[in-house]
Chains A and B, each alone.
Chain A
């Protein structure tokens, strides 16, 4: 992944991918045809910011404000890129 490739990207869920909170299990989920992805830790919070309007930079700075001291600048772009490779974000 190159930083340049990510800079202009405004990630949003791929068609048919749904992010939702699962009250029965107290967790966030990604729902796809024939598949459920259980989101651990802050993954659901990060994906909640992927609305197709925020850039990756916007998302990183917003998370940096919310979670001071967390390694968001390095981890978050890599995480988003991994989900794009899976086809869950675009």
Chain B
């Protein structure tokens, strides 16, 4: 590659893996980072400075639960100084008026709040902790502060039938955006796939419901975002907008990845901000160049007319399902491995009973990861 790659637009900052919730589909890796290994305030401030220089204009301050970082306001300030627009991605637990005021004073621009279900008891059950009341309060505080508010709901077998109620909840809470994100099966989600995977009928009903809401809310309602369930559509998703093309993830210990799930891939030798500047990592590290562009693609991707739309799909999914991250994403009906996904979704339709209950994501405060103990 002789020309420099396009600059990244966005940074997902996983400030901590600690979290009061224990959702069985958590996007954090199975191998959670302990608090003692987290970057400190100055190191995060330096990440923001370098990210701004590199071209990043948006950051999602995420976790775990970012509010567990006592220095969150200082990190917001650093991002703001670097010209980066900040969005807090939170469970809402721990967001009181004083904390929100501290954050908005530091320059926080917007908030994305998770909810696990529209029904309080179901939401608490899925999150593994009483938290719905905290979320409701957090939503009201964000509205009161005049910040844009998005609601994020991960959809799976246990809540897909409640899509109408979820949208109504978003309307009642006065949100600007509702993200209906069908569960993705990596890490914890993969571990819990049998419990999370919906039926085809459930999905079809939910999709119809979203279509009806889109019509009703088209004029002045909140934006409705539907994150596709790629196991069912026969099409690969344009994962991350392409490998190392749009955004980067910095994990709590400073590891830099093209996506939050990529730590599971073999041979990436993930770089760390403690060892390398961010621009070198983006331009030259193996982790970011390995699957960038289209040269790495095998057929049928390399000769496919869709290769610049779906970028060959998701490397983590190819690895998770075939053991080989260079293969076409099995979600695509043109993939020689598509039968692997078809078998999972058909099996599901044939035997919907006797599902295991999801395994709770554990906090990283314990000496070993939950994945190893299970």
- Give the distance in Å from the alpha carbon of A78 to the alpha carbon of B199 in the complex: 49
- Give the distance in Å from the alpha carbon of A25 to the alpha carbon of B58 in the complex: 14
B173 contacts chain A at the CB level, 8 A cutoff: no
Q: By the criterion CB–CB under 8 Å, are B54 and A33 in contact?
A: no
B34 contacts chain A at the CB level, 8 A cutoff: no
B322 contacts chain A at the CB level, 8 A cutoff: no
Residues of A within 8 A of B9 (CB): 36
From residue B373, how far is it (CB to closest CB) to chain A in Å?
37
Q: By the criterion CB–CB under 8 Å, are B57 and A31 in contact?
A: yes
Interface code A19-42, partner B: CB below 8 Å = 1, 0 otherwise? 010101100010111101000000
From residue B141, how far is it (CB to closest CB) to chain A in Å?
16
Name 7 extra pairs, CB < 8 A, besides A15-B146, A20-B83, A32-B148.
A16-B109, A16-B147, A31-B57, A33-B85, A33-B109, A33-B177, A34-B87
B158 contacts chain A at the CB level, 8 A cutoff: no
- Give the distance in Å from the alpha carbon of A77 to the alpha carbon of B232 in the complex: 47
Residues of A46-86 whose CB lies within 8 A of B: none
Contact of A20 among B57, B87, B147, B176 (CB under 8 A): B57
- Give the distance in Å from the alpha carbon of A64 to the alpha carbon of B328 in the complex: 55
A7 contacts chain B at the CB level, 8 A cutoff: no
Q: By the criterion CB–CB under 8 Å, are B176 and A33 in contact?
A: yes
B200 contacts chain A at the CB level, 8 A cutoff: no
B55 contacts chain A at the CB level, 8 A cutoff: yes
Q: By the criterion CB–CB under 8 Å, are B53 and A33 in contact?
A: no
Q: Offer 10 A-B interface pairs, CB within 8 angstroms, sorted by A.
A: A16-B110, A18-B85, A20-B57, A20-B83, A24-B7, A24-B53, A31-B85, A33-B148, A34-B87, A36-B57
Q: By the criterion CB–CB under 8 Å, are A36 and B109 in contact?
A: no
B29 contacts chain A at the CB level, 8 A cutoff: no
The residue of chain B having its C-beta at the shortest distance from the C-beta of A20 within the complex is B83
From residue B106, how far is it (CB to closest CB) to chain A in Å?
15
Q: By the criterion CB–CB under 8 Å, are A34 and B177 in contact?
A: yes
Residues of A within 8 A of B110 (CB): 16, 33
From residue B147, how far is it (CB to closest CB) to chain A in Å?
7
- Give the distance in Å from the alpha carbon of A22 to the alpha carbon of B9 in the complex: 11
Q: By the criterion CB–CB under 8 Å, are B150 and A18 in contact?
A: no
Contact of B57 among A15, A16, A29 (CB under 8 A): A29
Residues of B within 8 A of A18 (CB): 85, 109
- Give the distance in Å from the alpha carbon of A20 to the alpha carbon of B87 in the complex: 17
- Give the distance in Å from the alpha carbon of A14 to the alpha carbon of B326 in the complex: 45
Interface code B40-63, partner A: CB below 8 Å = 1, 0 otherwise? 000000000000011101100000
- Give the distance in Å from the alpha carbon of A15 to the alpha carbon of B53 in the complex: 25
From residue B256, how far is it (CB to closest CB) to chain A in Å?
17
Residues of A within 8 A of B58 (CB): 31, 34, 36
The residue of chain A having its C-beta at the shortest distance from the C-beta of B147 within the complex is A16
Q: By the criterion CB–CB under 8 Å, are B55 and A22 in contact?
A: yes
Interface code B147-182, partner A: CB below 8 Å = 1, 0 otherwise? 110100000000000000000000000001100000
The residue of chain A having its C-beta at the shortest distance from the C-beta of B279 within the complex is A24
- Give the distance in Å from the alpha carbon of A49 to the alpha carbon of B253 in the complex: 43
Residues of B177-191 whose CB lies within 8 A of A: 177
Interface code B84-115, partner A: CB below 8 Å = 1, 0 otherwise? 01010000000000000000000001101000
The residue of chain A having its C-beta at the shortest distance from the C-beta of B53 within the complex is A24
From residue A44, how far is it (CB to closest CB) to chain B in Å?
14
Residues of A within 8 A of B87 (CB): 33-34
Residues of B68-91 whose CB lies within 8 A of A: 83, 85, 87
- Give the distance in Å from the alpha carbon of A31 to the alpha carbon of B148 in the complex: 13
